[in-house]
Amino acid sequence: MQIKPLHLSNTIYNGKLFVPTSRKSCLLMKKILVVDDDKDFLYSIKSILTEYGFIVDTVDTQDDIYKSILIFNPGVILLDIYLSGADGRNVCRGLKNHFKTKDIPVIFCSGDRGLRAGFDQYLAEDFIEKPLEISVLVERLNHYCNLPPTSVN
């Protein structure tokens, strides 16, 4: 029996070379896509989550979400509800109704506590209030990534 070599293409993403290590990259489950229209928040959360070993991509518009999902292949999506020009709840519902993205866990994040009630009707797995408590966020991301807990200082 001859074993065929695995042919995977390298991808340039955000100016960096991404070389997958298998058909389903071992990094898949640690990859977090953060969607928020606040660029300062995106910068901060990317720095923090990277310190905890997550691989993070950020987008600030609805139009970039789908492109990032196709290229970055996230294990979890952290999604703001109030996006410029879009409602994150409807974005989530669209993702959950598409066969290619329906299994990606989505965690809503919002500073509007009133949105916690009923978030699951939009098919999201979880809701985290802003300002985010890093220990809670890391714990939830690990849970949805099916990873062992990370020590949070």
Per-residue pLDDT reduced to its tens digit, 64-101: 999 999 999 999 999 999 888 899 999 999 999 999 89
Query: Which residues span the domain enclosing 30?
Result: 26-145
Q: What does the DSSP 8-state code read for residue 12?
A: E
Q: Give the pLDDT score at 40.
A: 96
Q: Is residue 2 part of a domain?
A: no
Query: Are the beta carbons of 61 and 85 closer than 8 angstroms?
Result: yes
Q: Is residue 20 part of a domain?
A: no
Q: Is residue 21 part of a domain?
A: no
Residue 107's closest CA among 120, 89, 125? 125
Residues of the chain with pLDDT under 70: 1-29, 114-115, 118-119, 147-153
CATH number of the domain that 54 lies in?
3.40.50.2300
Q: Give the pLDDT score at 14.
A: 42
What span, in angstroms and rounded, lies between the C-alpha atoms of 119 and 28?
26
User: How many distinct structural domains can be found in the chain?
Assistant: 1
The model's pTM? 0.77
